[in-house]
């Protein structure tokens, strides 16, 4: 394996000149240029990118933290990030965390150790102060609605989005409304809960804890929810659901059990995945790829901290 010094020797120039030639810098005589390329060919030179990274103190790699790779919400987000990366000559290091804090810290450590130039959290479980702590090592971007003067956030206003869903249901006459969520403690989840509480408050209804279905993220969870719902003495007439996947699970299980949607139960999802279109699910469309792309921008530019909310849109179909 030859290196730049071997090339220099063979081409009878200095390593500086070799570097210049390889990187297409100006101010090198054509004959030297040719000599260098000639030597590169002869020795079958391959650059060692790790030396470049060391020397430049930069890797053009962004770390992406996501709890589950195989979930359309995060896949779409990741896709957006990947598009941004591709367009800007960056690579992506993907860390699947299953919401384990140590995995999240591992991702942050890549930043600390200069393995990546920035980190994007599509979701997180670690306390905020940990992210702040690592902020000194490089840009950290988080996809949630949080105002912090050091960490940029690109997000959907889940409070408003959830509110929009609630409004639609209330407008259709629903008063007994429940909701599904992946986990309670997430920041986005909390925003949704606040919207839930506030909207119920507006129509003089109290929060019914039993109507809040936790651990709802995948399609199977939807089926579970529908069965639980069916067995309730007092059941809600409408559900605002984590995402389209869970909504689909609810709807398909409802079909099996002879529950009519939306007559017996109205359902509203989030995301607007192809599945929502196929099943005619009323949903709140979220611009996930755009979030991803913008998060990427922020992770690479780091000129100033921003907090950007991207618009959602209600897509009315047939489940409300």
Partner DNA sequence: TTAATTTATGAAACGCGTTTCAGAGCAAGG
Partner DNA sequence: CCTTGCTCTGAAACGCGTTTCATAAATTAA
Which residues bind to a copy of itself, rule: CB under 8 A?
46-51, 53-54, 59, 61, 68-72, 75-76, 78-79, 82, 86, 91-96, 103, 110, 112-115, 137, 218-220, 223, 248-249, 252-253, 274-275, 277-279
Kindly state the smallest distance separating residue 43's Cβ from DNA, in Å: 10
Q: Which partner in a copy of itself, DNA, none is near 277 (CB below 5 to 8 A by kind)?
A: a copy of itself
Rounded Cα–Cα distance for residues 297 and 47 (Å): 28
Q: Among residues 14 and 237, whose Cβ is nearest to DNA? A: 14
Q: What is the DSSP letter of 116?
A: -
Kindly state the smallest distance separating residue 170's Cβ from DNA, in Å: 58
The residues, any chain, with a CB within 8 Å of residue 240's CB and separated by 6 or more, are 162, 165, 166, 169, 177, 178, 179, 180, 192, 196, 268
Q: Among residues 86 and 316, whose Cβ is nearest to a copy of itself? A: 86
Rounded Cα–Cα distance for residues 169 and 177 (Å): 8
Q: Among residues 194 and 287, whose Cβ is nearest to a copy of itself? A: 287
Q: Among residues 16 and 87, whose Cβ is nearest to a copy of itself? A: 87
Q: How big is the chain, counted in residues?
A: 320
Q: Long-range contact list for 107-111, CB < 8 A, 24+ apart?
A: 107/63, 107/65, 108/134, 108/137, 108/140, 110/63, 111/63, 111/137, 111/138, 111/140
Kindly state the smallest distance separating residue 58's Cβ from a copy of itself, in Å: 9
Q: Among residues 110 and 261, whose Cβ is nearest to a copy of itself? A: 110
Q: Which partner in a copy of itself, DNA, none is near 237 (CB below 5 to 8 A by kind)?
A: none
Give yes or no for a contact between 152 and 141, defined as CB atoms under 8 angstroms apart: yes
Kindly state the smallest distance separating residue 176's Cβ from a copy of itself, in Å: 26
Kindly state the smallest distance separating residue 190's Cβ from a copy of itself, in Å: 27
Q: Which partner in a copy of itself, DNA, none is near 302 (CB below 5 to 8 A by kind)?
A: none
């Amino acid at each position: 394996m030859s290196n730049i010094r071997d090339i220099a020797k063979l081409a009878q120039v200095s390593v500086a000149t070799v570097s210049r030639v390889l990187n297409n810098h100006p101010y090198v005589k054509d004959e030297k240029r040719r000599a260098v390329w000639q030597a590169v060919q002869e020795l079958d030179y391959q650059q060692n990118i790790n030396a470049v990274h060391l020397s430049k103190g930069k890797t053009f790699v962004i770390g992406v933290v996501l709890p589950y790779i195989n979930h359309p919400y995060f896949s779409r987000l990741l896709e957006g990030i990947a598009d941004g990366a591709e367009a800007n000559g960056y690579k992506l290091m993907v860390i699947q965390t299953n919401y384990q804090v140590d995995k999240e810290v591992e991702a942050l450590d890549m930043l600390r150790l200069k393995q990546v130039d920035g980190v994007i959290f599509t979701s997180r479980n670690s306390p905020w102060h940990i992210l702040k702590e690592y902020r000194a090592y490089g840009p950290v971007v988080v996809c949630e609605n949080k105002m912090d003067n050091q960490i940029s956030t690109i997000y959907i206003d889940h409070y408003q989005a959830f509110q929009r869903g609630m409004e639609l249901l209330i407008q259709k006459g629903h008063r007994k409304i429940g909701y599904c969520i992946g986990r309670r403690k997430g920041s986005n989840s909390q925003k949704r809960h606040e919207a839930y509480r506030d909207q119920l408050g507006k129509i003089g209804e109290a929060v019914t804890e039993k109507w809040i279905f936790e651990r709802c993220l995948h399609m199977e969870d939807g089926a579970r929810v529908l069965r639980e719902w069916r067995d309730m003495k007092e059941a809600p007439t409408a559900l605002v659901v984590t995402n389209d996947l869970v909504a689909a699970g609810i709807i398909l299980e409802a079909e099996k059990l002879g529950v009519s949607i939306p007559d017996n139960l109205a359902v509203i999802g989030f995301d607007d995945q192809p599945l929502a279109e196929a099943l005619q699910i009323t949903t709140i469309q979220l611009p996930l790829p755009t979030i991803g792309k913008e998060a990427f921008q922020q992770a690479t530019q780091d000129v100033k901290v921003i907090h950007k909310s991207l618009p959602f849109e209600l897509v009315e179909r047939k489940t409300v």
